[in-house]
Chain A
Amino acid sequence: MTDVVHEIEVEIRNIQGLHLRPAMQIIDLAGGFKSQITVSSDKDTADAKSIMQMMLLRATCGTKLKVRACGNDAKEALKAIQELVEEKHFDEPLPGLTA
């Protein structure tokens, strides 16, 4: 079944939020997967492979985003994105910690 949409929720944890560089990191990562991947805030949905769209999410620290993927490698894609956002937090500082 390739048309099943898988979904996870991730929280932006780095202080600076989803600014250009982290957004580029998601795009780089998403580009390595064949699945269609979208990222949604309460208001907007962005193609995870489009920098123009990703910057419209204005995802600040603490924002929860829904990531949806559809395709053969959807599960792997979501796992990789979750790791980048929540575990590595884009290699950026978290609140309460100094850089």
Chain B
Amino acid sequence: MKLTDIVCFDGIVAQLKSKQRDGAIGELVGALAKAKKIPANSADAITKSVIKRENEASTGIGKGVAVPHVKHPMVKEPVAVVGCSAEGLDFSSLDKQPVYSVILLVSPMDNPDKHLQAMETVFRNLQKDDFRRFLRQAQSVEEIREVILDADGGGTD
């Protein structure tokens, strides 16, 4: 699985307006709805369940990135959106540092293996210093798109 298999390019948010975690999650779920990856009328419910999940245990895994996620019956395949915050967001991260890049993932309810595959794809890239740096430096939707396309083309299986 590659990033392009899961990332919804139409949902990329180059500059998150919200300075708060919950607001940023809402923006990203909203972007997924706008891109018609989730039904518009389930956006609020999905936002709430992502926040609930986040409150149980932070997905701020350190090094400036967070991977909020949830499983939801309205999606058939895992779908992710990417959002960037120049100022940084407080995700109560493992390393207590702000989060500059958020990859939000919605996975199907009844396919845990697919979810693990999607998470592996995301983490395989996030563990690369260059990927995190380029993602943080990207200023526009087009630049973020290029970072993702480059990551997929960069010798991953």
Contacts and interface: CB of A to CB of B under 8 A. Distances in A.
Interface of A: 15-21, 24, 51-53, 55-61
Top-4 shortest CB links A-B: A55-B123, A52-B127, A58-B120, A16-B112
Given A52-B126, A60-B112, A20 B67 contact: yes
B136 interface: no
Contacts of A56: 120, 123-124, 127
A51 B124 CA distance: 11
A15 B109 CA distance: 12
Interface of B: 56-57, 59, 61-63, 67, 69, 94, 112-113, 115-117, 119-120, 122-124, 126-127
A20 B69 CA distance: 10
B119 A51 contact: no
B127 A59 contact: no
A20 B124 CA distance: 14
A1 to B, nearest CB: 33
Contacts of A58: 116-117, 119-120
A55 B120 contact: yes
A52 to B, nearest CB: 4
Given A58-B120, A59-B116, 19 more contacts: A16-B115, A17-B116, A18-B116, A19-B116, A19-B119, A20-B57, A20-B59, A20-B67, A20-B119, A52-B123, A52-B126, A55-B119, A55-B120, A56-B124, A56-B127, A58-B116, A58-B117, A60-B113, A60-B116
Q: Per DSSP, are chain B's interface residues mostly helix, strand or loop, or mixed?
A: helix
Contacts of B126: 52
A19 B120 contact: no
Contacts of A16: 112, 115
B112 A61 contact: yes
Nearest to B128: A52
A17 B123 contact: no
A53 B62 CA distance: 13
A61 B114 CA distance: 12
A19 B120 CA distance: 9
B61 A52 contact: yes
Contacts of A60: 112-113, 116
Contacts of A55: 119-120, 122-123
A26 B59 CA distance: 15
By CB atoms of chain B within 10 A, which of A21, A57, A58 has the most? A58
